């Protein structure tokens, strides 16, 4: 029995909230975050020490005209700027390394969800999933920039405030009251920014999805004159993303304006208080220079904190989208059962028109299913693949399809009608292993190549199986892509193989050769079961049994010749 969903989710260690995800990210990079924060804090404090050092030089070297003090002052400034420069360089390097490493891990973790869970983001398009797995992972990792810059700025503010209190109580109190008040005013709108940022990322995902759809069907659009329609569709999606970005930028700019205004008021009060102290003789000229310089410097760390609040809102929104992706499908939905044998049975599978399908494929049998309604054919293949609620009606080797483990390619392979090829070679698309870095060529049997008619393709290619396949297989014809997809399914050599119209784009002569070769290959492996959802006469003539599901009424079973003689609707279905 598989573990309960809640237990499995706890075992994964994946946080269930955006804050939890960000905290886990920090914990995973603490070896880089800690030293990076220390170095960035040193940089901020050294920046604050510059005006203080200048004030000391004015009092100790310039006003007394002390050459020795001036020499030591110059050496001190050189040392101060050296520490300032090196601390920023290495602190920023550590922080950026943490950011890039965590962004990589988040991308890999997010990508694993749609790859390993059948029902992940069912209602989302491929472009939206891509946006979450790439852009949102990168934005969430910006939390390390917030820690490096915002954390060091906050510590720098504390240190500068302590100096101002020590120098002059009134000036220090003005800073201690005014700066936190400015920060509170900045932090208040952060939740609003987070919501708008989430909406912006969603809109970007929709635009990416629309672009993906258009690029996938670009040839069809050009052939049918749909360029203008496609451009309008993408323009609308892009405009929605732009509008969402404008709203986010407007809210962010408003926050930054509030922060700058607050600091301008604090700075004005500091200057007034310090000027009064000088006029009353209670403060030296050098101290005035230091106080004014430090007060002016105050604007930089506050500006950094203001910017970090906005970035945190974006990171929090991106982290929430990553958490939503993780929660879009139960971790243990695939189950853990392994089929025992190759007996395939469908009992009471509900079809889109309300009917139920009962079907059985015995071990070692090859059966064709003729379905007159495309939606019903899709429902059957989706159930076989475990991608729908109908998976509970499918038994494979005595176990329900919904309870089978995810990695069972040795036992069950469902090859859909749609062909998906990937960047690589013909060999890697058949074997589903990309071993180019290790210079390992995965062997593909000649029987598989002949049965799928891929052997005819590679005969005319100088690189043979190692011929480069471009994105989506766009450098191959539809028939070539379909044959490579069939070779992929046959290469897996599963106990149960389900094919959906595997040769619809192949010419009639080649289709007949493929149908005979597939039968020879599958029957040469004892106990292998094969179900072919098709109305192709070559396949129907070579299988052991045909099951006909008409548009209405009950299913009929028999050989191809028997059904042709007894059913007019069957003849219509296979002859059109």
Statement: residue 121 has pLDDT above 70: no
Statement: residue 367 has pLDDT above 90: yes
Segment 80-97 mean pLDDT: 92
Neighbours of 352 (CB within 10 A): 11
- pLDDT tens digits for range 549-559: 998 888 889 99
Q: Which of 118-127, 213-222, 406-415, 549-558 has the lowest mean pLDDT?
A: 118-127
What strands, in cross-sheet order, belong to the sheet with 556-558? Answer: 412-415, 496-500, 529-533, 366-371, 545-549, 556-558
What is the model's pLDDT at position 153? 82
- What confidence tier does 366 reach under pLDDT thresholds 50, 70, 90? very high
CA distances from 258 to 253, 263, 264, 306, 513 (A): 9, 9, 10, 9, 75
What is the model's pLDDT at position 456? 92
Q: What angle do CA 393, 492, 119 make, to 5 degrees?
A: 40
DSSP-assigned beta bridge partners for residue 531:
367, 498
Q: Average pLDDT over the chain, rounded to whole?
A: 81
Say if residue 78 is exposed, middle or buried (CB neighbours under 10 Å; 0-12, 13-18, 19+): exposed
**What six digits make up the tokens of 384?**
């076989």
Segment 506-514 mean pLDDT: 91
Say if residue 76 is exposed, middle or buried (CB neighbours under 10 Å; 0-12, 13-18, 19+): middle
Segment 291-305 mean pLDDT: 72
Q: Which of 85-89, 224-228, 534-538 has the lowest mean pLDDT?
A: 224-228
Sign of the alpha-carbon torsion through 413, 414, 419, 420: negative
Segment 189-199 mean pLDDT: 66
- What confidence tier does 192 reach under pLDDT thresholds 50, 70, 90? low
What is the model's pLDDT at position 533? 95
- pLDDT tens digits for range 399-452: 888 777 766 667 888 888 888 888 888 998 898 764 444 445 778 899 999 999
- What confidence tier does 2 reach under pLDDT thresholds 50, 70, 90? very low
What is the model's pLDDT at position 158? 80
Segment 509-536 mean pLDDT: 93
Statement: residue 246 has pLDDT above 80: yes
What is the model's pLDDT at position 345? 92
Residue 547 contacts residue 558 (beta carbons within 8 Å): no
Segment 490-503 mean pLDDT: 92
**Greatest mean pLDDT range, 179-188, 414-423, 526-535:** 526-535
Share of the chain above pLDDT 70, in %: 83
Q: Which of 148-157, 513-522, 559-568 has the lowest mean pLDDT?
A: 148-157
435 or 219, greater pLDDT: 219
What is the model's pLDDT at position 4? 37
Q: How far is the C-alpha of 467 from the C-alpha of 449, rounded, in Å?
A: 14
What is the model's pLDDT at position 407? 64
Residue 455 contacts residue 446 (beta carbons within 8 Å): yes
Helix 227-279 × helix 285-297 angle, to 10°? 160
512 or 46, greater pLDDT: 512
2 or 374, greater pLDDT: 374
Contacts of 463 (CB under 8 A, 6+ apart): 425
Statement: residue 228 has pLDDT above 80: no
Q: How far is the C-alpha of 96 from the C-alpha of 559, rounded, in Å?
A: 67
47 or 106, greater pLDDT: 106
Segment 15-42 mean pLDDT: 89
Contacts of 330 (CB under 8 A, 6+ apart): 5, 8, 9, 117, 119
Segment 482-507 mean pLDDT: 92
What ranges in 168-226 are assigned the alpha helix state H?
169-187, 190-216, 218-224
What is the model's pLDDT at position 5? 37
**What six digits make up the tokens of 526?**
């004892």
What is the model's pLDDT at position 194? 61
**What six digits make up the tokens of 239?**
């405009």
Q: Which of 15-19, 28-32, 38-42 has the lowest mean pLDDT?
A: 15-19
Statement: residue 6 has pLDDT above 50: no
Contacts of 369 (CB under 8 A, 6+ apart): 359, 377, 380, 531, 532, 533, 534, 546, 547, 549
- pLDDT tens digits for range 53-69: 888 888 788 888 888 88
Statement: residue 561 has pLDDT above 50: yes
Share of the chain above pLDDT 90, in %: 24
- What confidence tier does 11 reach under pLDDT thresholds 50, 70, 90? very low
What is the model's pLDDT at position 537? 92
Statement: residue 304 has pLDDT above 80: no
What is the model's pLDDT at position 222? 64
* DSSP H or E segment with residue 569: helix 568-575
């Amino acid at each position: 029995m598989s573990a309960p969903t809640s237990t499995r989710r706890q075992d994964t260690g994946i946080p269930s909230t955006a804050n939890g995800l960000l905290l886990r990210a920090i914990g995973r990079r603490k070896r880089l975050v800690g030293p990076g924060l220390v170095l960035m804090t040193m940089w901020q404090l050294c920046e604050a020490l510059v005006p203080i050092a200048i004030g000391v030089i004015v009092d100790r070297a310039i006003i007394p005209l002390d050459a020795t003090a001036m020499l030591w002052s110059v050496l001190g400034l050189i040392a101060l700027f050296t520490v300032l420069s090196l601390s920023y360089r290495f602190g920023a390097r550590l922080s950026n390394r943490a950011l890039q490493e965590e962004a990589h891990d988040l991308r890999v973790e997010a990508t694993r969800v749609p790859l390993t869970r059948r029902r992940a983001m069912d209602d989302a398009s491929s472009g939206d999933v891509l946006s979450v797995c790439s852009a949102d992972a990168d934005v969430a990792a910006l939390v390390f920039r917030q820690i490096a810059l915002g954390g060091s700025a906050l510590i720098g503010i504390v240190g500068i405030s302590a100096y101002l209190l020590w120098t002059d109580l009134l000036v220090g109190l003005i800073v201690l009251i005014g700066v936190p008040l400015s920060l509170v005013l900045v932090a208040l709108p952060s939740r609003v920014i987070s919501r708008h940022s989430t909406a912006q990322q969603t809109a970007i995902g929709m635009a990416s999805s629309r672009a993906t759809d258009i690029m996938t069907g670009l040839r069809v659009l050009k052939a049918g004159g749909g360029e203008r329609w496609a451009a309008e569709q993408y323009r609308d999606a892009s405009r929605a993303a732009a509008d969402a970005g404008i709203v986010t930028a407007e809210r962010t700019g408003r926050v930054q304006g509030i922060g700058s205004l607050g600091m301008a008021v604090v700075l004005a009060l500091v200057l007034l208080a310090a000027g009064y102290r000088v006029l009353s003789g209670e403060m030296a000229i050098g101290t005035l220079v230091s106080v004014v310089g430090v007060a002016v410097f105050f604007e930089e760390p506050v500006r950094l904190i203001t910017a970090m609040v906005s970035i945190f809102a974006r990171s929090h929104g991106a982290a929430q989208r990553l958490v939503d992706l993780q929660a879009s499908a139960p971790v243990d939905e695939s189950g853990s059962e392994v089929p025992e044998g190759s007996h395939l049975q469908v009992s009471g599978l509900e079809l889109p028109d309300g009917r139920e399908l009962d079907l059985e494929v015995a071990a070692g049998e090859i059966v064709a299913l003729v379905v007159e309604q495309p939606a019903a054919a899709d429902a059957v293949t989706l159930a076989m693949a475990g991608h729908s609620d109908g998976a509970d009606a499918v038994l494979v080797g005595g176990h329900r399809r919904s309870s089978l483990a995810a990695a069972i390619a040795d036992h069950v392979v469902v090859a859909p009608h749609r062909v998906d090829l990937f960047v690589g070679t013909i060999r890697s698309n058949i074997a589903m292993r990309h071993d180019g870095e290790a210079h390992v060529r995965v062997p593909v049997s000649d029987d598989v190549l002949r049965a799928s008619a891929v052997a005819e393709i590679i005969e005319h290619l100088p690189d043979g199986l190692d011929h480069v396949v471009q994105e989506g297989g766009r450098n191959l014809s539809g028939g070539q892509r379909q044959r490579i997809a069939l070779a992929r399914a046959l290469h897996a050599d599963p106990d149960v193989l389900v094919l959906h119209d595997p040769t619809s784009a192949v010419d009639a002569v080649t289709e007949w050769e493929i149908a005979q070769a597939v039968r020879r290959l599958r029957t040469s492996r004892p106990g292998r079961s094969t179900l072919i959802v098709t109305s192709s006469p070559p396949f129907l003539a070579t299988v052991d049994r045909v099951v006909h599901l008409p548009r209405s009424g009950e299913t009929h079973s028999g050989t191809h010749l028997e059904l042709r003689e007894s059913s007019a609707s069957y003849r219509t279905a296979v002859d059109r």
